[in-house]
Amino acid sequence: MLQFFAKYKFFGIVLFVLSVIIISIIYSILKPNRVLPVYEPDMVNKELVDSTMQEVRKYHKIPDFSLINQNGEIVTQENYDNKIYVADFFFTTCQTICPIMTGHMKQIQNEVKDDDEVLLLSHSVTPKIDDVTRLRQYATDKGVIDKKWNLVTGDKKQIYNLARKAYLVAKTEGDGGPYDMVHTENFVLVDKRNRIRGYYDGTNPDAIEVLLEDIALLKKEK
């Protein structure tokens, strides 16, 4: 009996290897490609969504905007046409989550600095404090690459509406005026059609790795 198995040992090994290869090929063919969801307002935590938007279930896109960046230049949706971009909300005097978020945005910037398809966009939630001069200094201190990453300020109502009605990432404070808000740690991934494709914890290094993977996935979409 042992002689029989010894005689066919090589054949058995070859058959086993071929079986593994065939199974792997079949699995790769049958396994569906991962597709990022398109986020609609009704899919997001209601605390982060303006009450007028909470029941919207389709066709949600980031609307046109006009803000001013760290170089005093007007930034609009046109600057992001046919681009994948990561957006967040911050303020320069924040000492809690903002430094971590900014560090992670810089990490993303460095990963995509040679990729013309990907940009970054950070909105100040304290525009009266964060004027162009302050944003310019902040950008310099944090190593912002101007062509990749806009830090923007502007009309507070517009920024509030972008946060609550467009990107769906801010809670209302409720005691300091009609446009007061508390920004969250969320990074938002926006595709080339101005649709939200992902939310990520901007303070979590693991979430940043997932975000970078999802950017690569979006780049493959047609």
CA–CA separation, 218 vs 119, rounded Å?
Answer: 13
CA–CA separation, 111 vs 118, rounded Å?
Answer: 10
Q: What DSSP letter does each residue of 92-134 carry, written as one string?
A: TT--SSHHHHHHHHHHHHHHHTT-TTEEEEEEES-TTTS-HHH
Three-state secondary structure call for residue 142: helix
Q: Is 104 annotated as a binding residue?
A: no
Nearest to 188 by CA among 166, 206, 171, 209: 166
Q: Is 98 annotated as a binding residue?
A: yes
Spatial strand order of the sheet with 84-90 comes to 149-152, 118-124, 84-90, 186-190, 196-201
Structure-block tokens of residue 140: 């310099």
Strand partners, 150: 121
For residue 90, the surrounding DSSP H or E stretch is strand 84-90
CA–CA separation, 166 vs 38, rounded Å?
Answer: 13
CA–CA separation, 200 vs 202, rounded Å?
Answer: 6
CA–CA separation, 140 vs 145, rounded Å?
Answer: 9
Q: Is 123 annotated as a binding residue?
A: no
Binding residues: 94, 98, 183
Binding residues for Cu cation: 94, 98, 183
